[in-house]
Amino acid sequence: MTEKTPSPGGAGTAANDSSAGDPAASRPGGPLPGDGESIVVPPSILKQQAGWAQPGEQPRATGGTKTDDTPQIFASTVRRGDTSEAGYDENPPGVGRLGVILGTVLAVLLAGSAVTLYLVNKDGSTSDTAAKPDAAKSAPPTPTADPVPPIKDSAKVLPTVAGDFGKKAEIQVPGEASDGTFVVKVLSEGTGPKVDKNSWTSVDYTAKDWNTGKDIPSSYDNNGKPQIFQAGTDALIPALDQAVVGKKAGSRILVVAPPAAAFGSQGKADMSIGAKDDLIFVIDIRNSSAPDAVVSGTVTPPPADFPQVKDNGKKPAEITPVAGAKDPTELKTHVLIQGTGPKVEKGEKVVVQYTGALFKDGKVFDSSLSKGQAFSFPVGGGQVIQGWDQGLVGQTVGSRVELVIPAALAYGDKGQGDIPPGAPLVFVVDILDAGQG
């Protein structure tokens, strides 16, 4: 994939990459093989690298982006020494650091208790210092950002928009200032599925800064990609995240976003967006997929030397191995359902449903359909097994693909969980959507 166009999405916890916490927990088959230490990188650093947040960006008070700073885990090759549950060396010499520290803490606590008892019992009264709470510590925190205003479908003055769905819009900025209303107005309604909260949604967009009249990078620009995210989860700025909820795929909507619904009081310097700038978006909702969605279409049965696949709707597929088949030594793919969407490019974020089984006996070891939640990841990013990274590039959105993966491109000689060492695998993968995330 070519260099990514800067995203106007803003700060947030990207929904998947599909869920909060350790990304390995939801990875097909579990964590990738290897016993290296994990590098812990705060999302604030990752967001700055991706151009989604500014250094020192403050969390929103209400309705804005999430402020969860749970570290994200990335594998490295440095092995950690054996440690106890307390995080110290397992067998320290002598009494050990843990014993010294616990002894020190106990001594401090005993001394503090003695002082408190003296103050409480002196002259039969309680010390004022002990009786009164610290006002500064007990005061509620001061909000750090303006609340997001309610969404309305009109305002005193609105931009004018020309152009058709699926093409870059022409936006005419009014000569007078915005009145600060957060506007979401349907310009043309589509006939696709409705975007519900948590729906995987992909959008194209055209954008302008109301205050300066300047263009903001668009997904329709050269090398631009649709933005893909889970709607209503604070993954992006409210101007995108909240605006699409309740709308249908195929719709074009006009969004006027005051600072509280965009980049707040800090603006976004790398896009030349000021702290008090109102933004204008024209959003084309390309696709919407429920978390448990699957693809549909005419099935082309796999060749005789492939494991056979039985479709079970929104339940894990049934995979029947070929009797007496030798373990595969190279990656094989077969398109069970041919999608009509764009081809998946390396580096794109894809949203998929999958069922994984052992090549030898067809035993299912993992499926997103059992969890009712599609899985997302960047193709070719090394976050999944090599068989996935290689086998899904070039496939089209809307396709169902069978992957026969040799052990060398799966979990190798170590195996993982219910996957034995040296086991080749079979995956049935539905490609629901792809874009920039």
pLDDT tier for residue 28 given thresholds of 50, 70 and 90: confident
- Return the pLDDT at 26: 56
Residue 236 and residue 167 in contact, taking contact as beta carbons nearer than 8 Å: no
Across the range 393-416, mean pLDDT stands at 97
Helix (H/G/I), strand (E/B), else coil: 97 = helix
Q: Bridge-partner residues for 343, per DSSP?
A: 396
Q: What is the mean pLDDT of residues 26-44?
A: 51
How far is the C-alpha of 85 from the C-alpha of 272, rounded, in Å? 48
Least confident of 28-37, 166-175, 196-205, 419-428: 28-37
Report the distance separating Cα 67 and Cα 274, nearest Å: 22
How much is the average pLDDT of 77-106?
39
The two structure tokens encoding residue 219: 């997904």
Query: What is the distance between the alpha carbons of residues 125 and 119, in angstroms, rounded to a whole number?
Result: 8
Of residues 115 and 432, more confidence is placed in 432
Instruction: Indicate whether 336 pLDDT > 90.
Output: yes
pLDDT at site 327: 96
Question: For 278-291, what is the mean pLDDT?
Answer: 98
Averaged over 35-44, what is the pLDDT?
41
> What is the predicted pLDDT for the residue at 90?
36
Evaluate if residue 204 carries a pLDDT over 60. Answer: yes
Lowest mean pLDDT among 12-16, 152-156, 219-223: 12-16
Residue with tokens 């002196």: 122
Amino acid type, 1: M
CA distance 287 to 204: 10
C-alpha 275/C-alpha 107 separation (Å) is 52
Weakest-pLDDT range from 65-74, 196-205, 383-392, 420-429: 65-74
User: How large a percentage of the chain has pLDDT more than 70?
Assistant: 67
Distance, CA of 437 to CA of 358 (rounded, Å) = 31
What is the reported pLDDT for 437? 83
48-52, 146-150, 320-324: segment of lowest average pLDDT: 48-52
pLDDT for 135: 42
Tens-place pLDDT, residues 223-281: 889 999 999 999 899 999 999 999 999 999 999 999 999 999 899 999 999 999 999 99
CA distances 46 to 57, 147, 218, Å, are: 13, 25, 22
pLDDT band at 393 (very low <50, low <70, confident <90, very high): very high
Instruction: Say if domain 151-289 classifies as CATH 3.10.50.40.
Output: yes
Higher pLDDT, 183 or 108: 183
- Which of 139-143, 210-214, 271-275, 301-305 shows the lowest per-residue confidence on average (mean pLDDT)? 139-143
Q: Rounded mean pLDDT of 141-164?
A: 86
* Dist CA 371 CA 18 (whole Å): 12
Classify strands 332-337 and 400-405 as parallel, antiparallel or unpaired: antiparallel
Q: Do domains 151-289 and 308-435 have the same CATH topology?
A: yes
Which residue type sits at 395? Q
User: Is pLDDT above 90 for 52?
Assistant: no
pLDDT of the residue at 408: 97
Say if residue 358's pLDDT is above 80.
Answer: yes
Architecture of domain 308-435: Roll (3.10)
Domain ranges of the chain: 96-137, 151-289, 308-435
Q: What is the C-alpha separation between 226 and 7, in angstroms, rounded? A: 10
Q: Which amino acid is at 297?
A: G
* Residue 374 contacts residue 297 (beta carbons within 8 Å): no
pLDDT value of position 146: 83
Please name the residue ranges forming H helices in 298-411: 368-371, 386-391
- Output the pLDDT for position 223: 83
pLDDT, averaged across the chain: 78
Say whether pLDDT at 55 is over 60.
no
> What is the rounded distance in angstroms from the CA atom of residue 283 to the CA atom of residue 236?
14
What is the pLDDT averaged over residues 411-431?
96
User: CA–CA separation, 44 vs 141, rounded Å?
Assistant: 21
Q: Taking Cα atoms as reference points, which of 336, 374, 333 lies closest to residue 352?
A: 374
Predicted local confidence at residue 31, as pLDDT: 59
Secondary structure (H, E, C), 380-404: CCCCCCHHHHHHCCCCECCCEEEEE
- CA angle 209–219–158, rounded 5-degree value: 35
